[in-house]
């Protein structure tokens, strides 16, 4: 799983399990946030962070494999 760094710029993240592409945007958190995100396509954990900023993920396009779509 990718360990996200808090100084990582906005950009794109690719799920290492299924290859889904996400737009990543960082937001300021009121306090240190230690959390992780699961892929909306394959459901597997794809990123974690421990920082005073947290990322949100927006799927770009469609899931690479639509036979097993699992939206959170
Ligand atoms: Zn995935």
Å from CA of 16 to ligand 1 middle: 7
pTM: 0.77
Q: Taking the domains of the chain in order of start, what are their residue ranges?
A: 2-61
Å from CA of 41 to ligand 1 middle: 5
Residue 71 has pLDDT above 60, yes or no: no
Structural contact between residues 17 and 42, judged by C-beta atoms closer than 8 angstroms: yes
Encode pLDDT of 27-54 as tens digits: 999 999 899 999 999 999 999 999 998 9
Cα–Cα distances in Å, from 47 out to 10, 67?
A: 14, 23
13 vs 43: CA distance, rounded Å = 15
Å from CA of 5 to ligand 1 middle: 20
Strands of 1-72 (E only): list them.
2-3, 11-14, 21-38, 45-60
Å from CA of 27 to ligand 1 middle: 22
């Amino acid at each position: 799983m990718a360990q996200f760094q808090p100084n990582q710029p906005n950009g794109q993240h690719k799920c290492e399990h299924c290859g889904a592409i996400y737009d990543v945007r960082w937001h300021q958190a009121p306090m240190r946030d230690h959390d992780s995100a699961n892929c909306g396509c394959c459901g597997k954990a794809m990123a974690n962070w421990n920082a005073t900023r947290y990322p949100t993920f927006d799927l770009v396009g469609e899931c690479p494999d639509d036979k097993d779509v699992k939206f959170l």
